[in-house]
A and B are shown apart, each in its own frame.
Chain A
Amino acid sequence: MATKGPHNEDPNDKALNKGRREFLKHSSLLTALAVAPPHLVKAAESALDEKAAVYFEQVPLSLEVNGVHHKLSVEPRVTLLDLLREQLALPGTKKGCDHGQCGACTVHVNGRRVLSCMSLAVMQEGKKVTTIEGLANGDQLHPMQEAFIKHDGFQCGYCTPGQIMSGIACIREGHANSDEEVREYMSGNICRCGAYPNIVKAIADVKKGGHKL
């Protein structure tokens, strides 16, 4: 097992990347063995050259997004947010802060709202992801989308996909029983334009409508 080279460097050393190619050639096989299907492991054993190493930087990932099954290979460092936007051509989910502080990147994973900027794509193996693109049924908007339009729940619209995904979850969780409760449980979604009053109205309206969400 190769635990030399960059392994011993200061973790804060920004030069870490330099040793990476070399390092990958030696040790990325370990990761691959852990997660790769058997035929890949075999390929790695027979050809541990630069090409194989690059190949093994990618981890196989299978997940469902908006009802569509995907078999992908991703770098471990790719967040779910970047996977959606850059590899799956689903830019509806927004990147606001990229540090868990704004909620613009909110999606549902197995039915629960999470921050896609703080989730590694490789950790979503076998899971079901729903994004803003997955809400409408053909031309028929989701009741929460309708309500945001009806109540003017946005100005610039940047936070809106996150607000809508969060709002749906807020009702499903049973946290929309009063305006006060909605405000508390929607606090993870920041709106720079300050559309909060109308966002609360939209959520209250959908809740009142008793739709199955």
Chain B
Amino acid sequence: MINFEYLRVSTPKAAIEALSRDNTSQWIAGGTNLIDLMKKGVMAPQKLIDISNLPLKEIKKEGNKVHIGAMALNSDVAENELIQREQPLLSLALAAGASQQLRNMATVGGNMMQRTRCPYFYNTDLPCNKRQPGSGCGALKGFNRMHAIFGASDKCIAVHPSDMCIALAALDAMVLVNGPKGDRRIPFTDFHRLPGDTPQKDNTLERGELIIGIEIPDNPYRKNVHYLKVRDRSSYAFALVSVAAAMDLEGGTIKDARLAMGGVAHKPWRLSEVETWLKGKSVSDAVFREAAQLAMRGAKAYGQNNFKLKLAPNAIVEALKAATQKT
């Protein structure tokens, strides 16, 4: 790892000012993604601005929303009593990610900003349009077992690796941002983006904009929720496919549902159309299978990840079933 300057800040304002003063600088929060990428030479900021001490760790109820500070640790959010009671889907998704040691370091903001785990992105000797725009996408015709089946482009087929973000996309969260040009609120599903011709941009945040927190509006999804993560080993591995499912049931009828998938796209893949279709239907395996087929419209695989075309719908059915069975 090449050396760098180090600066500690204690207010969001100072963090934003320090970053805008120097375009080779980068914020560091938990460091679990950035340090890794710096050791590999994928990123090489010349100055790190330590934002881990910013007073943005609160998890609290504000009116009819839950507010989570950007610096809250992944483990603290997963195990928070309010989150477990009111937003259990988020708690489940967080607990499915990384390991307890990493969750004790990783922050909510850092989790949203983590880069893809595509091996071409991680290896500076190989082509990758995300790391080096114009160098080509090595994964397109290469090792693409982990890669996207939705919304990819011929410039990039990488996926966003977060579990937490899949739940937040399903739960209609809002991202709160402060920046040099003022404050913004970004709907979670608009935060991450599809690769298109500019895969170097993971999300719609502009340089200098700091995530200060997220808000989740009240919802009825307190019981019939499930986060299913399919991976190469049963824990401490990234998702091949994951499904966040939440249902509001009345007897055997689906009053409303929330559904999103991970491991399948450059952003958390919210299945709004399927949610609408499920509304008013009765719970049954046949309904879930039909929902899963609907979800797969437009899916496209790239060779090594062909198995996802079968795995993804099966995972949706399993997740919906598991969610209905929660008591």
Question: Using a CB–CB distance below 8 Å, which chain A residues touch chain B?
Answer: 1, 3, 6-7, 11-12, 14, 16-17, 20, 23, 27-28, 30-31, 34-35, 57, 59, 75-77, 79, 98-100, 103, 106, 112-115, 118-120, 122-123, 125, 166, 169-170, 173, 175, 183-185, 187-190
Contacts and interface: CB of A to CB of B under 8 A. Distances in A.
Interface string B3-15: 1111110000000
B44 A119 contact: no
A140 B160 CA distance: 48
Given A188-B100, A188-B102, A118 B32 contact: yes
Nearest to A29: B5
A194 B48 CA distance: 38
A194 to B, nearest CB: 13
B11 to A, nearest CB: 13
A12 B235 contact: no
B105 A119 contact: yes
Interface of B: 1-8, 21-24, 28, 31-32, 35-36, 39, 41-48, 50, 52, 98-102, 104-105, 124, 131-132, 234-236
**Interface SS, A side:** mixed
Nearest to A59: B6
B20 to A, nearest CB: 12
Contacts of B236: 187-188, 190
A130 B4 CA distance: 27
A99 B42 CA distance: 13
A100 B6 contact: no
A125 B50 CA distance: 12
B101 A31 contact: no
B122 to A, nearest CB: 10
A17 B44 CA distance: 11
Given A7-B23, A118-B35, 15 more contacts: A3-B22, A11-B24, A12-B131, A23-B46, A35-B8, A76-B5, A76-B48, A77-B1, A99-B39, A112-B104, A113-B101, A113-B104, A185-B100, A188-B101, A188-B102
A100 B325 CA distance: 35
A119 B31 contact: yes
A113 B100 contact: yes
A26 B35 CA distance: 25
15 contacts: A3-B23, A6-B46, A11-B44, A12-B124, A31-B7, A76-B48, A77-B2, A103-B101, A114-B101, A118-B102, A119-B31, A119-B35, A122-B6, A187-B235, A188-B101
A34 B9 CA distance: 9
Given A7-B24, A100-B32, A170 B100 contact: yes
A115 to B, nearest CB: 5
